[in-house]
Structure 1
Amino acid sequence: MLLRAALTSFRRGETLAAQPVSASFDVSLKHLTAYNAVCGFGLRDVLPLTYPHVLGFPLQMKLMTGSGFPFPLPGLVHVANRITQSRPLTLDEPLEITVSARDLRPHPQGTQVDVVTSVSGVWEGVSTYLRRTGGSSGSGEELHRPVGSAVWKVPGDIGRRYGAASGDRNPIHLYPLSAKLFGFKRAIAHGMWTKARCLAALEGRLPEAVSVDVKFKKPLLIPGRVEFSAHENGVGWEFAVWGKGPHLLGSTT
């Protein structure tokens, strides 16, 4: 799969023609246990909100390495993720997963596209990817550091551990040397691990029907030390992960 991703480096497409891909899945208790352990979730008979994203990852890669996807995968940046579920998915139910791509659109720094993972008609994850081609990185948004409610020490092997549980073994997450080949000082944590870790901290406090929206900001270099903050705002929760700057900003409704 990494080789197929590397071969997409020659793409210069400007149109989106990727066809949806689908498959049926049964949840493996062993796999779920490993995922929960690395993200901080307790083991229950309902699936963590972020877990279906991991189940759909092979289909996401199949679609994004296919001929109809316009962007090369190397250098593609995961900038946001929104998950919406109408009810929790359970450990023992068979899952029908479909992955599609939509909404190719301009961005001040390049072009964005959404990769959409739908599960059994009750769960949807929308990952927004940015292909940078230039332009200003400034958003004009003034960010204020929230008061932290917990300090997390993120170990240097979290990328390898999450990669083993999720299947996402992108070299930028694994080792300092492999990350340096892509311009990072050392390895960085997966954005979806960071989101999952936040939701694990809020476990038991979110409604069964919920939407969780996050923006990924600065890469979280590992090992690292960050502050997690969360507070209710009358509609849902707002939460964030900060180091020297914001790594993740999120909200629930």
Structure 2
Amino acid sequence: MVTTIGRIALSLLQYLGELATLVSETCVSLVVAPIRWRLVLRQIVEVGWRSQMVVVVTGGFTGAVLAAQAYFQFSRLGMKSAVGSMVAVSMFRELAPVLTGLMVSGRVGAAIAAEIGTMKVTEQIDALRSLGVHPTDYLVVPRVLALLFSMPLLVAECCAVSVLAGYVLGVHVLDISAAYYVRNMLLYAGPRDLKMALTKGLVFGIVIVFIACHQGLKTSNGAVGVGRAPTEAVVNGSLAVLILNFFLTFALNMVFPAGV
């Protein structure tokens, strides 16, 4: 038992060390190497623009079902007008960034790991080195910058669509007073909640892209490794999002205290 726990701990430390090495190499590349803006824009289209439909559908239906469940519970207490504030606060602080992170990890993280992993096993990365191009400069930096730009926007979009879906369902289907719905929503959800959502989205984006790139760069064993890399990237990225969300919730409540 002790031996097994020790092996798991050593494997985790090794994994975190490899991630830290990749992060440090990327930071050096951002400062030293020229940024390939064409690749960055191409990745923004791939990881940001083409992820919008998934994020919109997820945010819309989550906001709607959250409004419905809140209505069914709050109507017993005569608090139907509190549905809007509950939906907005829940989506901004927790659900929108977490769900967006999970969706992006599943779609973008898998694609990045598979693409880089295929390049690794077909020796395209070795070809880049032979041409004097560092793989981190060419493969990792554009994807990191694309996620840094796209992830907060996707989270904001998820928040907006979820709030709109909750409003439409609450006001036009469940017959909640529009004035009270909006008033309570604006009273309890403000810039502080938006700051928390965008900060979480930014952190999740950084974690997802580094995990996916690392998984792709260490791919081996041919087709078997290429098939395993996206799975491990999605699993590790999703777990990282859920675990980090717990610690970020406490940290951001201290960084952005009530009234800020």
Fold equivalence (TM over 0.5): no
Higher strand share: 1
Higher relative contact order (CA 8 A, sep 6+): 2
Higher helix share: 2
Normalised TM-score (structure 1):
0.29
Normalised TM-score (structure 2):
0.28
